[in-house]
Structure 1
């Protein structure tokens, strides 16, 4: 089969389009013939060695959707020919509150979805929602479960609350926007692009502010009367601004740090406002199941920005690295 393999570090240009053996499912595993895969920033960081537990060589890719073509022993509830979407959170563990020590994400060290076929545990495949295309289904898993868990489980989002999503444009941020709007929240966003702000409004955002503006904090405060819940993947120096925008008793859920560390966390502003600051990453099997049910109920579709053939994965990751995308980037697997 054809696959995108990372053998050496140094960025996406180190990836190679190679012939490798089709994997064989073991007990309690299934073999999926992939239709589409989708990119995540995790894949980009891995090519630079900026991810824990590095093991090479490896086939990248956490997200994918396709048809089951073989099942291992002891798999009785999944039939060959089933259309499935893959939950990339492997070995989550027993507690929904946090993942266990054996948890890992598909696509390094376990070979992932940048390939014609992938083997995954049977418990990690779910029936593909019929209303989603193959491409949309592949774009959903990692971003969808991350956004859903951050909002609904960790964030305890309630109807009518004000939600702030900094850095709108990523796959997770856009799905968080759609989930929150569908749940009846008032969503506000930030971006360095006025075009992305306008497109976010078309997807249901009440308003947005360009954070490159000198007075963006004041502009945001004019738009809303404080924030009940902030879903942040940016971190960096703007994190203290988020603390300032939060209402007393508000919540901040963080699942990333694309702008780096928070160098000076102002603790008095946290405890005097009685804020809850929570971390979140990926999601449990329960989160994934509930996410699919929520999307099915509200007919939410991931926003796909651009698609490339599998052999052009390098170009796709470079496009992602330039941070101009609005939504998910996918790989079509012929």
Structure 2
């Protein structure tokens, strides 16, 4: 998922010691595995393929973790899961997380970023393409309510008056776009264009990121208390998760079919769609420093962008020290 923070149906998967028992080198460690729970940001799809790979391939067990994975959904607010103690870490969007820190004094720390470039963008039909913010003038754009502030920032950054674009509510359904009832929608560029093409239309898209709205997405967030008391486990999670993503991206068409009857069961999405999604997200996630890297330039870009929408982020809200421990 866009800044679609309120998403994903509930799913819980507990690791067992049996599989590790077949690996003598890990028997004693598996028996002493430490429980850790993560809250995802949306329903199960390719956005989380690396975590599914790490679970299925035993990477978390190898790091001494007994991981519980909680799927998200339309009614799930990831930050609420960690505040309530339901999860130790959550995947969130930086704007909502940092706004909660600023406005409510929430004790959050961002310890990693799954997406270097936020995959949210403007999607339109190829027969009536919209290829830049400038081309939104006079058009009807469907936007999820939670994302309106981001679109308004995009328009401001590009010198476009808010009144020049007709913004209407969007419910994550491309049907109005396909039917021509709207001109464009705000959605995940890694997924929705393929969904539209499966309906017989060709779609085009552009990232908000490429036109000045430079934010991470699926930021890894913990409370200060969990950071203090479970630091070793969080480092282990980052290491195992990075290994899962590296395995997944070695061949972006390999893992999605393996999840067809497990992780992806019942979503209503085709495996072809998930394969497309997986390949499309790869360049948005990779970094020379490894998956989850947050470098000084990226953090500064997020702070500047959020400042444009009145969210005053500061460098101390990002903690890169755990990532330093898994370098190499």
What TM-score does the superposition give when structure 2 sets the normalisation length?
0.32
What TM-score does the superposition give when structure 1 sets the normalisation length?
0.31
